Amino acid sequence: MAKPRVFISSTYYDLKHIRSSLENFIDVLGYESILSEKGSIAYNPDIALDESCYREVQTSDIFVLIIGGRYGSPASSQNKIQLNDFYNRYESVTKLEYENAFKRDIPVYILIEKSVYSEYETFKKNRENTSIKYAHVDSINIFSFIDLILNQPRNNPIHQFEKHIDIEVWLKIQWAGLFQELIRNRKSESEISELSKEVKELSNINTTLKRYLEEIVSKTDKFKGSEIIEEEEERLSKSRIKNILLDDIIIQEMIRINNLTLDEAINLISEPKNFKELSTSFAKINHETDNGKRLLEYWKTTPSVQERFNKLRATLGFNAFDKI
Predicted confidence at residue 244, as pLDDT, reads 85
For 38-80, write each residue's pLDDT tens digit.
Answer: 877 777 787 888 999 999 999 999 999 999 999 999 998 887 6
The closest alpha carbon to 102, from 132, 60, 143, 147, belongs to 60
The one-character DSSP state at 61 is S
155, 246: one domain: no
Q: Taking 80 as the threshold, does the pLDDT of residue 34 lie above it?
A: yes
What value does the mean pLDDT take over residues 75-98?
84
143, 51: one domain: yes
Q: Which residues are registered as beta bridge partners of 241?
A: none
Q: Is residue 314 part of a domain?
A: yes
Could you give the CA distance from residue 142 to residue 259 in angstroms, rounded to a whole number? 42
Among the candidates 134, 162, 190, a domain finishes at 162
DSSP letters along 20-39, please?
HHHHHHHHHTT-EEE-GGGT
Could you give the CA distance from residue 319 to residue 71 in angstroms, rounded to a whole number? 56
Among the candidates 107, 134, 162, a domain finishes at 162
Global pTM? 0.60
Range of the domain at 35: 5-162
Q: Is residue 199 part of a domain?
A: no
Measured distance between the N- and C-terminal CA atoms of the chain, rounded to whole angstroms: 55
48, 136: one domain: yes
Count of the separate structural domains present in the chain: 2
For 207-244, write each residue's pLDDT tens digit.
Answer: 666 666 666 666 666 556 667 667 777 777 788 888 88
For 180-203, write each residue's pLDDT tens digit.
Answer: 888 887 777 767 667 666 766 676
Residues 6+ apart with CB under 8 A from 221: none
* Residue 64: exposure state from Cβ atoms within 10 A (0-12, 13-18, ≥19): buried
For 244-272, write each residue's pLDDT tens digit.
Answer: 888 888 888 888 877 889 889 899 999 99
152, 247: one domain: no
258, 129: one domain: no
Q: Is residue 265 part of a domain?
A: yes
Q: Would you say 255 and 265 are in contact if contact means Cβ atoms under 8 Å apart? A: yes
Q: Is residue 175 part of a domain?
A: no
Task: For residue 137, give the CATH number of its domain.
Answer: 3.40.50
155, 35: one domain: yes
Q: Taking 60 as the threshold, does the pLDDT of residue 289 lie above it?
A: no
Could you give the CA distance from residue 3 to residue 61 in angstroms, rounded to a whole number? 9
Q: Is residue 230 part of a domain?
A: no
